[in-house]
Amino acid sequence: MIDTQDELYKDFEAVRQIPIVSTMLEVICQTTGMGFAAIARVTQDRWLACSVRDEVQFGLEEGGELKIGTTLCNEIRDHHQPVVIDNVDDDLVYKNHHTPKLYGLQSYISIPIILKDGTFFGTLCAIDSKPAQVNNPKVIGTFKMFAELLSFHLQSLDLLERSHLANVELQSKNRSLVNANFDLDNFVYTASHDLKLPITNIQALIDILSELVTKDPLDKEEIKSIAGLLKSSLLRFKTTVNDLTTIVELEKSHVNEKPETVDIFEIVESAKQDLVNLIEETDAGIKVVSDVKLLTGFSKKNFKSIIYNLLSNALKYRSPDRSPEVIVKVERIYEKTHLSIKDNGLGIPAGKQGSLFTMFQRFHDHVDGSGIGLYIVKRMVDNMKGQIQVSSTLNQGTTFTIIF
């Protein structure tokens, strides 16, 4: 029997799904008096029996194969013409042909099955060890009609499958669109909120400054203080704009992101180099625990961004009572890669973990940051059809686990 992983299995199953096939082969045997009839899938290098009626114990079952070079179908594939033989011994063309001699045939008929797009699928054929009256309009016409019916059904099944796949893809795109619309609404609301605050502050400070400069004498210290507050508000404004640009670029670029093979040790080491000042300042220890070196699932750029953001968070949200200890661990569980980053930091309150990956969300005000790092990490993971989970205990630490 043909293996389900075989490249021709789809065609084999397509023939088996046609309900009239069994009756068709039975009619062929009754009409011609021949003992063996079959529908064969014929390619450049294979002859596969998709459906068989064997009344003479020829010995070929469904899913069985003949060497393509030993068959007449091999020639029919090239010229797309029927081959019809009443009696091999009396046939000037085929009486010395190797196929009848090899299989002990005296009568033979084979009609090509041509799909509507002109593709050669295979043949509808019948054979017997005795002569048979098949080279006549009635028999040939019946075979041609059956071959056209097979072609129609095969084409219909192919269209149904393509329609199903297109529908599945459309549903997937609709779900993505719904999610994108939700994210867009969230993006617009959050962006307007985070941009509005520094703009309001800047407007108020300018009003105060305008009033100060009209006074005589000028209060230079107060003006200097206002200027410092203006710079702070402008910096926050600039940071927010940069963060929004990063998010937009991420959404635009993920379509072209392709999985690459990355070295987990190399990526962690590169992230550590970028965080070297923070590592030295906090006396942090970062260790990689992995039995595998190479991983596949993300682009190298995105994978480094994920590692960098999670390591950076582990160091920034450290406990004041101990030096940071971070473990990057890779495991294979049920054919999935589990990448975890575990720290011994401040931890996250249980009631706030549900909104952890929200845009511009921050839980600790003592650390500088915009609150988009984890949002970006989740978007990168989502874009590659992965999952990210968090487990955290207040004052003990946090573990992020990415499954892909």
- Mean pLDDT is highest, among 122-136, 333-347, 374-388, for 122-136
Q: Where are the beta strands (DSSP E) in 25-76?
A: 36-42, 47-54, 65-66
Average pLDDT of span 197-202: 72
Q: Dump the DSSP string for 171-234.
A: HHHHHHHHHHHHHHHHHHHHHHHHHHHHHHHHHHHHHHHHHHTTSSS--HHHHHHHHHHHHHHH
Quick one: what percent of the chain has pLDDT higher than 90? 50
Mean per-residue pLDDT for 130-146? 95
pLDDT at 215: 74
Strands 285-290 and 325-333: parallel
Residue 194 has pLDDT above 70, yes or no: no
CA 81, CA 120: separation in Å to the nearest integer? Answer: 11
**Average pLDDT taken over every residue of the chain:** 85
Q: How many CB atoms lie within 10 A of CB 226?
A: 18
Taken in order of first residue, the domains within the chain and their CATH numbers are 9-161 (3.30.450.40), 178-255 (1.10.287.130), 260-403 (3.30.565.10)
- pLDDT surpasses 70 at 232: yes
In 3D, which of 47, 46, 54 has the Cα closest to residue 29? Answer: 54
165 CB neighbour count, 10 Å cutoff: 10
pLDDT digits over 277-322, tens only? 999 999 999 999 998 999 988 888 889 989 998 999 899 889 999 9
**What is the per-residue pLDDT for 183?**
59
Are the CB atoms for 14 and 114 separated by under 8 Å? no
- Could you tell me the pLDDT band of residue 237, with boundaries at 50, 70 and 90? confident
Residues in the chain: 404
Query: Six-digit token pair at 245?
Result: 């640009």
Say yes or no to pLDDT of 368 above 90: no
* Beta-bridge partner residues of 218: none
Q: What mean pLDDT is predicted for residues 236-265? A: 74
Give the whole-number percent of the chain exceeding pLDDT 70.
Answer: 84
* pLDDT recorded at residue 362: 56
How many angstroms separate the CA atoms of 175 and 132, rounded?
61
For 109, list phi and psi in degrees, rounded to 5.
-145, 135
Query: How much is the average pLDDT of 100-115?
Result: 95
Residues in Cβ contact with 243 at an 8 Å cutoff, skipping those fewer than 6 apart: 360, 370, 372
| Helix (H), strand (E) at residue 123 | strand 120-128
Q: What confidence tens digit (pLDDT) does each residue in 55-82 have?
A: 999 989 999 999 999 999 999 999 999 9
Nearest to 280 by CA among 310, 323, 244: 323
| 17-40: average pLDDT | 94
Q: What token pair was written down for 325?
A: 């200890």
Predicted pLDDT at 204: 79
Q: Which long-range contacts (CB under 8 A, 24 or more apart) does 61-66 make?
A: 61/1, 62/1, 62/16, 63/1, 63/2, 63/12
For residues 34 and 117, the answer to whether their CB atoms sit within 8 Å is no
DSSP 64-108: -EE-GGGSSHHHHHHH---EEES-GGG-TTTTT-HHHHHHT-SEE
CB 139 within 8 A of CB 109: yes
Q: Kindly tell me if the per-residue pLDDT of 158 is higher than 80.
A: no
Please tell me whether residue 290 adopts helix, strand or coil conformation.
strand
pLDDT for res 176 = 61
pLDDT for position 290? 92
Report residue 226's pLDDT band, with 50, 70 and 90 as the boundaries: confident
> What does the CA dihedral 72, 73, 74, 78 come to, rounded to 10 degrees?
110
Q: pLDDT category, 197, cuts 50, 70, 90? A: low
Ordered DSSP codes for 355-374: GTTSTT--S-TTS---S-HH
**CA–CA dist 373, 388 (Å, integer):** 14
The closest alpha carbon to 49, from 31, 34, 61, belongs to: 61
What is the DSSP secondary structure assignment for residue 344, as one 8-state letter?
-
- Distance between CA atoms of 334 and 404, rounded to whole angstroms? 11
d(CA 134, CA 187): 74
Q: Answer whether 264's CB lies under 8 Å from 389's CB.
A: no
- pLDDT in the model for residue 208: 80
Decide if pLDDT at 375 tops 70.
yes
Check residues 224 and 110 and name the one with the higher pLDDT.
Answer: 110
Could you tell me if 247 and 187 are in contact, meaning their C-beta atoms sit under 8 angstroms apart?
yes
User: What's the pLDDT at 191?
Assistant: 59
